[in-house]
Amino acid sequence: MQLSTSIWVWIAAFLTLTIYSFLYKDNPLYRFAEHVFVGASVGWSIAIVWHMTAIPYIGIPLRDAFVQRNWPGLIYVAIPTLLGCLYFFRFFPKQSWLARWPIALMMGYYCGISISPSIETNIFTQVQGTILTGFNPTSLSSWWALLLLIGVVSTLFYFFFSLKHEGIVGKTSRLGIWFVMIAFGASFGYTVMARVSLLIGRIQFLLHDWLGILK
């Protein structure tokens, strides 16, 4: 056993143990670590936005455009900057409608930009992957591809509420529930294992990096 001499390892170990103390019950140490996490995460985001967006996309271009008397360049950066500043009118009830302009810019951009890739990746690619291009009864993979097709169609039927789920539609949607349940089971299993692997990582950190028990 060789205890770590790094202050950073001790801080990380202390915070890890305070979070795990919640397994016993809610306690002041856990709440302390929880608030440290919230504050530090937001602080980290601010520093990242400052260095990744504010300086390279606003500060430097504005300064350069001003120094070089490049007025079109100045206007090009000033427009989104001023639009962004309009967000602050949320604090003034009478002028809060001005905040709708930058929100409109965001909504228009993201709605427009999401449609075409969504058609390609969520619709065309998925349909393309499901279509049976040739069926060979002697090949097992053909049967599995047929199962995949049946699964996709029945799942879609299950989530299609414009038709009453009775008769053939009801039977197909019921088959869809089976596929959905199996998928949810697989997703659950994966989620648990992902969390367990994080737990193993933390225990490894405590036993190896901090206490030096594991070699």
Partner 1 sequence: MFLKRTLPLLIVFLLGLAMIIQFYIPHPVSQNFYDSMAEWVRISGAFALILGLSSFFYVHTRKLARKNKDSFYSGVAILCLIGMAGIGIFGRGGINGWLFSNLYRSIIVPLDATMFSLLSFYIASAAFKAFKARNAMAFALLVTAIIVMLGRVSFGSFLDGIVEWILVYPNTAAQRGIILGIGLGMIATSLKIILGIERSYLGGGD
Nearer to partner 1 by Cβ, of 201 and 212: the residue is 201
Question: CB of 7: closest distance to partner 1 in angstroms?
Answer: 8
Rg of the chain taking only CA atoms, in angstroms? 28
Question: CB of 58: closest distance to partner 1 in angstroms?
Answer: 6
Which residues in 58-87 contact partner 1 (CB under 8 A)? 58, 76-77, 79-81, 83-85, 87
Give the angle 37-39-45 at the CA atoms, nearest 5°.
100
Nearer to partner 1 by Cβ, of 138 and 197: the residue is 197
Question: CB of 110: closest distance to partner 1 in angstroms?
Answer: 8
Exposure of 8 in the CB half-sphere (CA atoms within 13 A):
0
Quick check: 57 and 48 in contact, CB under 8 A? no
Assess 172 for contact with partner 1 (CB under 8 A): no
Which residues in 115-154 contact partner 1 (CB under 8 A)? 115-119, 121-123, 126-127, 129-130, 144, 147-154
Residues that bind partner 1 (rule: CB under 8 A) add up to a total of: 115
Question: What does the per-residue mask of binding to partner 1 show for 11-50, with x meaning CB under 8 A?
Answer: xxx-xx--xx-xx-------xxxxxxxxxxxxxxxxxxxx
Quick check: 172 and 154 in contact, CB under 8 A? yes
Helix residue ranges per DSSP H, 60-166: 60-67, 71-85, 100-118, 125-130, 140-158
* DSSP secondary structure letter of residue 24: T
Handedness of CA 88, 92, 98, 100 (dihedral sign): positive
Nearer to partner 1 by Cβ, of 127 and 213: the residue is 127
Quick check: 90 and 99 in contact, CB under 8 A? yes
Question: What does the per-residue mask of binding to partner 1 show for 185-204, with x meaning CB under 8 A?
Answer: xxxxxxxxx-xx-xx-xx--
Question: CB of 171: closest distance to partner 1 in angstroms?
Answer: 14
Amino acid, res. 3: L
